[in-house]
Structures are given as structure tokens and as C-alpha cells.
Structure 1
């Protein structure tokens, strides 16, 4: 089809309190944000987009893949925020969603199509204002992955290619709040780096200093406790092919969370190499998916003896894929397979992650049974990837991590990403990150990835445990 256009792009906050039916009298404290959202929504409507594409930090988030929701329609309401009467029922832009997945994969980014028709508040809050401005159009929704910044930027460029393929005019809505740590009373507590982060983002967006945004230190981003940085990076990637006029419409943080409303007016095609392209090149982004943050390291090759744990994992998956039979553990087990422990099984294909599923605590009679179950889950049920096919079996490499008992962590100084994995808990939600992963170099990065895997927001309390693993190749 072709000739689709990105006609508008914006960065918007999503606190439900700015919706009058939720915030009531408290909306007076976010008057600047409220006015900016109405102004922005009217501008978007004036551009007459045929589709709205949302990037939401409260959609489905994976560590090493980007989820795009696959549905015929989306539904949701703000009932959990006390306003069930504010409800939404919108058609899905399935063609754009499929094109984003395809172009993302062509760009070397792991993409996951996830069947879900649920709207999260990262979408519903800005959609509230857009619909009241008269926009009643199909929507596409995606999250982001906890991937290197260069990959997320490259995915943004792939999004623009997908838009062009669909032949539709699209407005891109990057949803996200700034620091959640601006005041001592803030939900996530206070950190002085929160104000630093917000100021640098605000100034860089206003001046369209793409390299400044992409090059922010990872530690600063983590200390800020934000939820909008990755959405912003992807949006900037989507704008990479254009000349733009940026404008910050408002910024405030009366409740300790930064609310930034910004827009980019597209004025024409970009000329020559853009600032973002220069930064990506200087960051040595390979452009082929290599070097993703958090991917398990490659198992050793070259004639080394395969461990019984890996041999069992391979046998379990290959047997099931070929004959649909679930194997039983050997009758006589070596000591390391006869104990009980949580186990993670990781699969790689040509150096790229192909599946990783595990259990934090033992669920089976022994490690051997745990390996069999998780090998099948990694190969067949990881929602980021399609099930492994017979023709892929010979290309797969396996690693098995057997978790050792954990212990509480009271300070980040107790962690070492090379030696310890981490478990982050908040209620029933649990996020785990294995130790010694490529691209994860600091304890702050470990915690951030594990927290986001569990869907734990920066403003929620959580507990941390550390553990070691025995890794088999």
C-alpha cells in the first residue's frame, strides 16, 4: 500500500488525577497540565490522524523484547481510580500493529505479539483528552523492552517505516511520567537526582537535543524513578526521518511526580545524517540485535562436554517437538539433579535469545523434573517468541541455571551483578534477574530490570533478595 505518514508526535503524562472525574478538586493543582493536554489534544485532532499509536510503560513490558498488543478492539475504564463511568471501547489498528512487529524484527529487535484487549491507564488518560477533542479512530498499543537505548531508538525508526507501509496518517503518543522522586512526600520517596533528570529532559526536548537525551547516564535514569524515558527514546526514533519544531507545553510536579507535556510539529524530511543516527553510530549499535541488555551469555562451544542438566533440557524439548511426548527423568540422578531448587532454562539461536522460562522456587520433586518442565516452557510458551519448530532444533544452544537459596538485601552495596542475581517482590508480584548477564553492569540496572519485569512501579514499596546460581552449559 505505502504512502502512510507520521503526522504528529507528542510526549504526555498519564496520572489519572488529571482526569476531572478522578481528580475532582485536586485537578486545580495540575491546572497547567490540564490546559496543556486540552491544547495538545485539539492540535492532534486538527491533523486528522486515521490511527493513534500509543507507547505505554503500563502495557506489557519484557526485559529483552517489545510487546505489541494484538486484538480486534480494546476496552477499559478508570474504575480502579474511582471513576468506572470513564470507560473506553475503541477499534484496534491491527494492520499497523502487525507492521510494527514485522519492521521491528527486520531491524533486529525482538518483538512479541501479545493477545490482549485491555487498555492500561498509560493509554486511557491521554485517550480521554483526545476523544473529547473529537478523535474517534482506531488505536495500536505497544510497550517497550528493557533494551539498550540504541535499540529502542532503532525500533522507533522501524515504527516510522511501518507507518509508511500502512498508507495511513498516524499520530504517535508517547506516554510516560518523569521522575517519581521530586519531593519527600513523593510515592517513591525523594532523590535529588529526580529534579536533575527532569530538568535535563525538559531542556533537551525543548531544544531537540536528541544526543543529550540518548546519552543520559543509566544511573541518573534509574535514580530518577521515571516511567517515560524509554517511551521518549522510541518516539525520537520515530521522528528521526523528519525535521521538527519541538515545544514543551507544560511541566509541573505538585505531587512529587514530574508531568511533562511536549509536542513535535513535523515540518519536512530530514536532510543528511541526523543527531540520533550519529549517536547510535558512536554507541557502536550493531543494528542486528546483538548485545541486548540482559541476554544470557552464550554457552561455551568447541568440544566441551555437555552437562547432564543441559543434555536433559535438550532431550526434553527435542522429544516433545518431534513426537509430542514428555520425557521422564532418568531413574538414577546425579546429586545436582536430585535436589530441589528453582531452575531457569535459556535457549539461544545464532547468538540471540530464543526463550527463557524459569521458577524462583522448586515446584517439582527434583531439579531434573524442574528442568524438563522449564525446557518445554522456554521452547513452547515464552510469550515473546513463537513455539520452536523442528527445523530450528539443531540451531539451539541451551543453558540451565539452578538457583541457590536467597538472602535479604538491605543496601545496593551488598549486590554484585557479576556474582548475584536479584529477586524483587511487592505483594504477589515477583521479578527475577539472573546474575552475570551481558549488558547489566550495575546493581541499579539489575533492580530496575527486575522491578519492571514484575510490573512494580517506582512509587511502590518492594523487597530485594540476592542469590547465586550454578550455571550449566
Structure 2
């Protein structure tokens, strides 16, 4: 048995996070461990793995209890899939803190099957992206929820990429939304998100089945609101000994936040059991285990806005600025009169022009609020917070035209051959450096593709002119519309 409790050893100058629960949650002997995992995977569903798996939700109990369910989620991932990195998100069982702890202190994680590299550069980038990310050593030292996923990934995947280990210690929705915002640029098809969570804790076997069914159906809907409502309803039922409906509710909530507005993704329920189903299981006090995959739909529904919806957004943008100038406290919209399209979470930019010249432009690529609310916020920021301009004055408003760009989800590209000048906006990420140009910038400037990328790298992302060549590139499309004067 491996008894290293949390932790670190040095291999030369490299720091290795040693196993904390080998010999307890799973076998410590490498051959036995491999045979155990292979056995679970061989007994998992023989259904063909989905070609594009973006995330899985996997239990994290001892293998004797949850290994069969965990294998269903892992086997849903194509074994020959090539991911750039794997984001491991789990709840904190060992430390109390109000945020997310990303483990950038180690170069790799060890299991009896070998070492898995940590993408420390991305870990650092997350800490710089938002102070909600920190490093809390005790959150990782003896934590099992991420560690137990690694042997399954090591056995199943032909190529195991670097990992980004994140333990979430908060249930504050505002903080969870900030965590999701920082992770959003990485929530693309070339990264895999592994969400670690068990479900009901300690009710009877029959009660667990009922409680977990409600929670599972809410997750399968892909709706954060339905998930949170299910947790609340389960808590109000007075189920004896029910301590929680999902110990990983925060990582699951972050996943559902990442999925908001993504019509191209769907949740698939793969398997369920609880500890009472295991050979050593006690049916009086059980823990529930679900497995889910989040996959790309065959065809994504195209996002569109009607003429009436566009006019409504333009009116909200103008009213937001007018109300701010007049110091009105009323909302510039009636939230009860918003269509489903206007309630979706989409990225948006609001641009102000005066006499044909730029007067302000602020936006958000992610879409962390319903579209109508984000338009209101971005309009005010464009008018009063764009650091390139003085705040807009009331006397100027009659001469200002408003333009809105509603954005599609970000899509990672491998080559600039995939980038279409004039159709696509570009988003450049390299470490802490980030910058974007909207699609219409190409028409306004007359730049070539290389000039478009060079200016974005240098002028927006703060890189060298050719900095885009070794950066991560994402494209998006925009529905662009403006006021008719």
C-alpha cells in the first residue's frame, strides 16, 4: 500500500503530487489496479463512444462502490480522442474556503500507473484571470475526488494530456459564475472537462433512488435553474438522513453555467447505481452515483433574432444610456416581455458611433447574463467606461448611433485557413494575454487576414505583431445590426 498522505516528492527539480488514497479507494499495486480498471471498462456499455465528448460527470467513491458507474462515463469518451488538456473539477472534502483552488504547485500527479503532467501555465492563467482562483494546499493534499479519476483516464485514453486540477470550495452562485467565466475560453472541443461528484448521501436505498432520479433528470435538462430547484426540493422533502443530493453540486453548477446558451451541446444520462448495489453495500445508508456525458449534437440549431427582437435590443441599449444620464433608477426594460431568444446567454458588444467615428465600444465574449440584460450593461459601459474616450454627455446623444453585435459561441481553430476574414471575429489567448476583434473590423479597416491578426495580437492582446502564431485562436460569428438614422 502507498501511504503517502498528501504528498509531494521531488524528482530532480520537479514536484510530484503523490497518491493520497491508493490502497484505500483503489488498489495500490499497479498490475492489480490496471486489471481492475480494465475489468470495469470491459463490462461497461458496448455502445459506440460519442465522437465529440466535451465533458463527463463521474462519481468519486471507492471503486468497489462506484467503479462500474464511473466506467460508463469514461468509456463514452473515444479512446483515441486527442485533447489538449483535461480540466478536473471537484468539491472540497478536506478544506473550507470560499473560491476555487487550482493546483499549480506540482508538475505532475502520480498514481500507481505513472505520472500525469499538470498544465501549470493554464493554472497560472486562471489565477491571473480572476482572484476567485487561488492555491489552497490543504484542499489538494489528501483530496480523493480528482485523484480517483486518473487511473481510469490512464487506462482508457491512448493519449493522456496534461491536467488542470481545480477544487471548488464555494457554493456562492456569483463566485461560481466568475469561475465559469474564467474557464469559458477553455470550454471547447479540444479540451475535456471531468466533473467529479457523488450524489445522495446516506438515505435509505429506496429514498436514494427517488432523490437521485429527480437530481439526474434536472442535470439531463442542462438547466442550472432546474438543477438548483431539484436540490432545494429534495432538501425540503424531509428524507431521513439525506445530508446532500450532490456533494459536487458546485462543480456541476459551473459546468451548467459553461453550457448556458450552447444549443450545440446536450447532456446524456449514462448510468446510475448506489452503494447499496455493491456486494458490500448497506441498503440502510447509501450514497448515489450517476454518470453523464456532455456531447456535441449532430447539428446545432442556428441562433437568429427577428427584426422586432433587434429593435427591442437597440431600444434597451439607448434607454440604458439615457436613464444613466438622467440618473433614473428604473430598469430600461420589462423583463416579463422578453422572448426566449432574448433570454439566452450570448456574448455581445455594443458600439457607439458619432458622425461616423467610433465613440465607444465595450462587450463580453461569454454571455454571463441573459442577452437583454447584457446589452443594457454593455451599452452603459460603452458610453461611460471605455478608457479611450471621455464619458458620453447628454448633449451628444442625438448624434450617436448604436450598433449591437450578438456573438455565437467561441470555436477553437488549428489553422488560420479556418478563419474567414469579414465573417469571423477573432479571439487570441496566450497565457494572461487576451484580445479580440469583431468581424466588422475587417470591413472598416480594409486589412488583410495577416494584418487583422497582427493588429489584434499587438494592439488588443499586448503581444508582438506575430504573437498570434503560437497563441490559441478562437473564432466566432456575429449578428450585427444598428439604428437606422
Rg larger for: 2
* TM-score, structure 2 as length reference: 0.44
Higher relative contact order at CA 8 Å, sep ≥6: structure 1 or structure 2? 1
* TM-score, structure 1 as length reference: 0.45
